[in-house]
Amino acid sequence: MLVVRKTVQMAVRKHLSRSFSASRNHLQERKGLVLGVFEKEAEEGGLHLTEAAARFDQSLSGKLSDLLKIAAPGLKKGKSRIFYGIHQDFPCVAVVGLGKDNEGVCGAENWDTKKENIRHAVSVGCKILQELEVNHVEVDDCGDAKSAAEGAVLGLFCYDQLKSKKKTRVTTQLHGSADVDDWKKGVVYAEGQNLARFLMEAPANHITPTAFANTIEEKVAPHADRVTVNKRPKAWIEEQQMGAFLSVTRGSEEPPVFLELYYNGCPDKKQLPLMLVGKGITFDSGGISLKPSQSMDAMRADMGGAATVCASIVTAAALKLPVNIIGLAPLCENMPSGKATKPGDVVTAKNGKTIQVDNTDAEGRLVLADALCYGLTFNPRAIVNVATLTGAMDVALGSAATGVFTNSDWLWEQLHKASVVTGDRVWRMPLFQHYSKQVTDCQLADLNNVGKYSRSGGACTAAAFLKEFVTAPHWAHLDIAGVMSNKDEVPYLSKGMSGRPTRTLVEFAAGLAHSG
Ligand code: BES
Ligand code: ZN
Ligand code: ZN
């Protein structure tokens, strides 16, 4: 025991002396390594190294396993230990706990526990190394290179663009594995989610409707051969007679944009497109039905639907998925002013239906109503809208899963299957007539923008409202209000806006691409 402790002390001393004698340049290139270990079954006790960790251990004549016996005899899932100076190429080595090695798809949890454990563990290792100012990290594939890459790239994200003091920028690389294609895929999926996180986290005076559209235009520029962008101005929105969308933007000084993305990934030009529609309220003050000021700042992320939809199309293009996708994002602010829509006003949507706007804070369904009517004119194979639509969705499911309201069992299965793979879960919600009656019973117009029993079943009455604008057989509404932000529930996402469910949308599109 004493001997091994001495080895550790020597290792630490050796590392320190090397660091102090190193040139500044060398310090700037500090390399780290993340290795995984599984827990053995209870009766066996101890740890079992991944293939990459075992090879690393062999190269050190068993030193890593010796150190682990002292420092982490039973390293638990998501826990870590750092070893300094044990390898000349890697001054810092993070060993992370992957849980049991026989995990897989879990019916009760609706996700793949093995993949989730890898994302968690790798993110923990990378974050610790980032804290230690390591700027290049090599990562064990831990048995699933795609999940390992997702854990690394999601774990290292932070929004510090506007701070003077920034976290260490860390580059990542696969260590000791041939699964480079899967690793690269995982990096692209995670970067997609990080793009959505960036747009959602950014303040509303930075990400205005115009800035949002410009950012997406920049992101698709490398894929210009397959992606077309249209940034439609207010005059176009007026020509389209999108009276519901226009009623929301009325109170704002910031010009609205109707953003269209066309991704042509399928060689068969006749293949019907998948249509994705995202709510793009770059700030939701509530309008004249003003929100309470506490936590109003979070409403800068009320464009989370547009952010996840656009980020998933950027990702589909980067992956060159063989599928056609159209993305629509009605972008505007919801603000109070002398020009703003007033409770009780009646507006006319693109399809001619009249809407009594009893609560100007229920604005998401108004912008989506017009975007859905427009989307249907493309005769899509499926139409999926994504929106931070109701606080009631957060009350119902919290951040465990996105609520899916759909008229199609086929579409539900596709979305659910994708979410089991990504771990960014979905849960089916009802579209009963029961709720439709509560929005169609309206004093002045065809529809009321709030249910007549106001708070009860708020996520369901909002979905029922959208249903009144949809004639397609395969439509799904994803209410992402509950998953919009993360405290510590998803361990591989740090605190802040989550970018969920970007990876599920990408996986869903990939599934459609492969099913033809
Ligand atoms: N953007 C909000 C919903 C929301 C709340 C998203 C919290 C994320 C976190 C939406 O526009 C809204 O205000 N909805 C109202 C509807 C109500 C007035 C019928 C709500 O949920 O309170
Ligand atoms: Zn609102
Ligand atoms: Zn809103």
Residue pLDDT tens, the chain, 516 long: 333 334 434 333 333 333 333 333 444 689 999 999 999 876 666 789 999 999 999 999 999 999 999 998 889 999 999 999 999 999 999 999 999 999 999 999 999 999 999 999 999 999 999 999 999 999 999 999 999 999 999 999 999 999 999 999 999 999 999 999 999 999 999 999 999 999 999 999 999 999 999 999 999 999 999 999 999 999 999 999 999 999 999 999 999 999 999 999 998 888 999 999 999 999 999 999 999 999 999 999 999 999 999 999 999 999 999 999 999 999 999 999 999 999 999 999 999 999 999 999 999 999 999 999 999 999 999 999 999 999 999 999 999 999 999 999 999 999 999 999 999 999 999 999 999 999 999 999 999 999 988 789 999 999 999 999 999 999 999 999 999 999 999 999 999 999 999 999 999 999 999 886
Q: Which residue has the tokens 């500090």?
A: 30
| Per-residue pLDDT, 10 | 39
| Of 245, 249, 289, 361, best ligand 1 pocket probe by most atoms within 8 Å of the beta carbon | 361
| Per-residue pLDDT, 159 | 98
* Residues 329, 306 contacting (CB under 8 angstroms): yes
Return d(Cα 435, Cα 412) in angstroms, integer: 20
* Residues 360, 288 contacting (CB under 8 angstroms): yes
Question: DSSP state, 344?
Answer: T
| Per-residue pLDDT, 44 | 67
Q: Which of 365, 467, 500, 503 is catalytic?
A: 365
Query: What's the pTM value of the predicted model, to 2 decimals?
Result: 0.94
Q: Which residue has the tokens 């044990």?
A: 86
56 CA distance to ligand 3 middle (Å): 51
Annotate 216-229 with b (16+ C-beta within 10 A) or e (fewer).
bbebbeebeebbeb
CA-291 nearest atom, ligand 1? 13
Q: Atom 5, ligand 1: which residue's CA is nearest?
A: 391
Q: Is 291 a catalytic residue?
A: yes
327 CA distance to ligand 2 middle (Å): 22
Q: Which of 40, 100, 291, 381 is catalytic?
A: 291
| Per-residue pLDDT, 45 | 64
Q: Is 365 a catalytic residue?
A: yes
Helix axes 63-71, 2-21, angle to 10 degrees: 110
Residue 344 tokens read as: 């009780």
Question: DSSP state, 262?
Answer: E
298 CA distance to ligand 2 middle (Å): 12
* Residues 511, 315 contacting (CB under 8 angstroms): no
* Residues 394, 424 contacting (CB under 8 angstroms): no
| Identity of residue 403 | G
| Per-residue pLDDT, 28 | 61
